[in-house]
Amino acid sequence: QVQLVESGGGLVQPGGSLRVSCAASGTISSINTMGWYRQAPGKQRELVALITSGGSTNYADSVKGRFTISRDNDKNAIYLQMNSLKPEDTAVYYCRSWQGGSAYWGQGTQVTVSS
């Protein structure tokens, strides 16, 4: 069993920045791909960014050039630095981890971009 806890969400004005974190705990059998997803009200959950065990990254087109995903393997944590935030970035941001043949979700952290 793996537990994922997100933190760092909040309210920010358009054009601002925010950094969210995800810490994994429990039974960590190996260092695998982790990622960030988000879900806006009335919308389906969508992939935002992925990072492999070796640090290779992939981003949704909507956030390329604005968001940066990173990880700290010693802490079993991933991060998402969000810059130049737009109102359409408003969503609950979820951490995702693949471990022991299973996939896990965090509880989510709310990010609201509004003036």
> How many other C-beta atoms can be found within 10 angstroms of the C-beta atom of residue 79?
19
Q: What is the pLDDT of residue 33?
A: 93
| Average pLDDT taken over every residue of the chain | 95
Neighbouring C-alpha atoms within 13 Å toward the C-beta of 10: 11
pLDDT number for residue 28 = 77
How confident is the model at residue 30, as a pLDDT?
78
Structure tokens at 23: 């810490």
Average pLDDT of the residues in 96-110: 92
Confidence of residue 63 (pLDDT cuts 50, 70, 90): very high
CB 79 within 8 A of CB 70: yes
